Structure 1
Amino acid sequence: MRGKPASVLTSVRVKYMAGMVVDATGSGMYLPLSLLYFHHVTGLPLTQVGAIVTTAAVIGLVSNPVAGVLIDRFSARAVLVGGYVLRASAFCTYPLVDNGVAVFAVVLPVALGDTSYPPAIQSFVAEIVQGTARDKLLALQRSLRNAGLGMGGLLAGAALALDESGFYVVVFGAAAGYLLSAALLSTIRPTAPARQPGARVSRKGGYLLVARNRPFLGLTLLNIPTAFGYTVLSVALPVYVTRELDAPVSLVGVLFAVNTVGIAVLQVPVTRILVRYRRTRAVALGAGVFALSFVMFAVLGSVSTGAALIAGVFTATGAFTAGELLHGATASALVAQAAPEETRGRHLAVYQLSWAVPIALAPTVLTALLSLSSLAMWLLLAAATAGSALGVLRLERVLPQAAVHPVRPVPSEGEPAVSPTGSTGKVA
């Protein structure tokens, strides 16, 4: 970002955020209807459609390391734009589907594109902005993506209210969103020095370097409990609120809206405050607040009064949202800076597994725990996320200091300065 005119940086941010809003709006149109669409156009049972979509998602998960290699070899922008075009092409073939084999053939490219997206977008952000600007851009991204997803859902509802052709409007609208996002992001040039496409990044090979980076692997493993915590809102909370607390089903939608609106409205101002402090402290605080919210949910099981119960549910959901605000954008910035530039794609592909695996396992694990004991589930989640918070604090001294500090601290007399790449000189 050094040496770049302010107008150029503003243009980059505007193009980037426009791409994210369009992407999120298209995704928001399709995501709520993904299973229903194929059930509607093929007549296949929902259980069969679900099995096909899950199989494609697992294959996409297994292919995640390939995305890291492609990012390091060809650039994050190439993988990001390629993933958009791949998914858009698949969506354009959705109306031709009429059997289970065809369903698998069109959802697999979408799953592969979805899998490549998280490490590609994090690597891309790391290339176009630095320092506190990275935290702020990621915060704005989370805020606007939440708004875009909500807008997409409203557009999908409006399309389906017309007639059955609304299903086709939805899939073509999602395809158009991906293509427009690809067009916008393809015009953004990285501000950091880039490697030549196709250049070898390491003579020793890719993922061996990740395996030797113990602080980064520690950060990845510590994210798993927190990632499980994120899934609570969509997996465990609806069942808990309606079955265990005997609250109306309509409350689930209201709680989801509280969380979504809270992130959309507060993420940017909260992150502007957090950039004054160490990223590790903000991430640990976020995980700690998650733990507190899970304890609150556990206590609600013993509350029987209607008004007190409703107030407690909203308070716990507010605490959960606060944990997201503290953790989300800052954790992404911390990880992107902690990954060495030469193998950033591979590192972030490995880190993405700490999200993908909990998301895949959460429906089975959390519902099984709920069936055994809801109190045990909440306390186990609380203990795990609290342990994650403490672990991140312990890692603080071995992570690259440029990753820990959004604003690089002035070194004391006799203390070596942190290099621009964030290396501390320590061998991971």
Structure 2
Amino acid sequence: MKQRTLLYSVALDTVGTGVFLPLSLLFFLNVQHMSAAAAGTAVSVGSLLSFLVIPLAGRLVQLIGPKRCLMLSNLMSVAGYGSYFFASNHLRVICAAFVVMAADRLYGAAWPSAVARVASKDQLPQWFSFINFLKTTCLGLGAVASTGLLAALGPGGLKLALGANCVSSLVAGALVLRTRIPEGGQGARSARPRATFVSALRDVPFMALVSSQTMLSVAWLIPTVAFPVYLVHELGLPAFWPAAVVATRYAVIACVQLPLSARLADWTRGRILLGAIAVVEAAVLVTLAIPLVPDVARGFVAAAATALLAVAEAASKPTAAAAAVALAPDRDEGPYMAVFQLTWTVSYAIGPAVIGWGLGNAAGMWCALGACVLVSGAVQGLVVRKSPAAV
């Protein structure tokens, strides 16, 4: 089945990203000899500038189709990551990071549109669930490989990881070329005005879904961004606990994603999303209670909170993606999917800075995150009321 080629492309590309992503900052420090502050700031600036590409990404999906956009995204990733070898100053890092993240913005608009072409509306949750499982597993494998490369080869391993990421993106693009992805239906397009970035922003049920998921996505940063600093520097736990909680996240999602999707197949999307939000709120409360338990149990409580977050993520992310496609105009999803990627890009862009400042008052930060989750639930209720057919 040619659709498998599309999945192979996702797997290969994600493994390559997983190999290099954990080492990306170290690459600029150890290979390009930049300071952590300069490299981190430059990458953040390039990432934020890539938000300007979102309207264009949606329009490109309409003009040339999701298949060509996926291939173009892969080629841009090769160019962007390849330029890391020559990014020896602040401006070059900004430019390289911008190209990489612009490729990711285009991919975020094209990928759900491609899935909408090859799967029926009823199959969307299963497709997105399997893709989430595939990406999480491959990222985990890539992260393990990156650790081995760094341990075995030192700075040379960083260059090898970057080269492997470039090759994986190139081969992933070639696999997309072999995949048959139908274009949008011309008859359906001519019967109504084309979707635009502005029309997506004016769609109240859709933007309610986007707002809810954007507020919820701050919680996904707890295991990967907040806990590594909080557990070691604030609570004084042994240094292996950050790795343990991240491994817990990967393992739980990989193990429960497919069985959970099958178990929830008869649930409405609204019920799944509201249930996931409730589980996230419970995880935040567990996190808030970590300092109240004995020192020896704190790491295990953090792992339990991470497991709850992983289960909620496994239920929420595929369901939200399927709901977004259902709310978008049929065969004209590009602008809507370009906007929908804000549900994860905003938190990953500003979340680390917010968490970095907030850890000075950890209890207040957990309460603020809990408030964001509550707002997410309230807004999700609006989606259920405004567009029950979609959720």
2:156 maps to what in 1?
A: 165
Mark the runs of 5 or more structure 1 residues left unpaired by the alignment: 1-9, 405-428
Give yes or no for the alignment of 1:231 onto 2:221.
yes
Higher relative contact order (CA 8 A, sep 6+): 2
Query: Please, what TM-score do these two structures have when normalized by structure 2?
Result: 0.92
| Structure 1 residues 252 and 342, CA gap change in structure 2 (3 angstroms) | same
Structure-to-structure mapping, 1:307-386, within 5 angstroms: 307-341=296-330, 343-371=332-360, 373-386=361-374
Give yes or no for the alignment of 1:85 onto 2:75.
yes
| Structure 1 residues 295 and 193, CA gap change in structure 2 (3 angstroms) | same
Q: Which piece of structure 1 moves more, 282-291 or 375-384?
A: 375-384
Q: Distance in 1 between matches of 2:358 and 2:130?
A: 35
Q: Distance in 2 between matches of 1:243 and 1:326?
A: 31
Output the amino acid matched with 2:175.
L
Secondary structure of the residue that 1:182 maps to in structure 2?
Answer: helix
1:125 maps to what in 2?
A: 115
Q: Distance in 1 between matches of 2:59 and 2:195?
A: 10
Structure-to-structure mapping, 1:4-403, within 5 angstroms: 10-12=1-3, 14-160=4-150, 161-162=152-153, 164-190=155-181, 193-195=184-186, 206-303=196-293, 305-341=294-330, 343-371=332-360, 373-399=361-387, 401=389, 403=390
Q: Distance in 2 between matches of 1:15 and 1:315?
A: 36
8 Å Cα contact 1:80/1:117 also seen in 2: yes
| Structure 1 residues 183 and 217, CA gap change in structure 2 (3 angstroms) | same
1:417 maps to what in 2?
A: none
1:171 Cα deviation from its structure 2 partner: 1.6
Q: Distance in 2 between matches of 1:178 and 1:366?
A: 31
Superposition CA RMSD, Å: 2.3
8 Å Cα contact 1:201/1:343 also seen in 2: no
Q: Distance in 2 between matches of 1:46 and 1:326?
A: 36
1:352 Cα deviation from its structure 2 partner: 1.6
Q: Distance in 1 between matches of 2:260 and 2:269?
A: 13
Q: Which piece of structure 1 moves more, 32-41 or 280-289?
A: 32-41
8 Å Cα contact 1:244/1:301 also seen in 2: no
1:70 Cα deviation from its structure 2 partner: 1.0
Secondary structure of the residue that 1:21 maps to in structure 2?
Answer: helix
Secondary structure of the residue that 1:235 maps to in structure 2?
Answer: helix
8 Å Cα contact 2:184/2:331 also seen in 1: no
| Structure 1 residues 113 and 204, CA gap change in structure 2 (3 angstroms) | closer
1:46 Cα deviation from its structure 2 partner: 2.1
Query: Please, what TM-score do these two structures have when normalized by structure 1?
Result: 0.84
Q: Distance in 2 between matches of 1:72 and 1:192?
A: 9
1:387 Cα deviation from its structure 2 partner: 3.1
| Structure 1 residues 358 and 166, CA gap change in structure 2 (3 angstroms) | closer
Percentage of identical aligned residues: 23
Q: Distance in 2 between matches of 1:240 and 1:159?
A: 27
1:50 Cα deviation from its structure 2 partner: 1.5
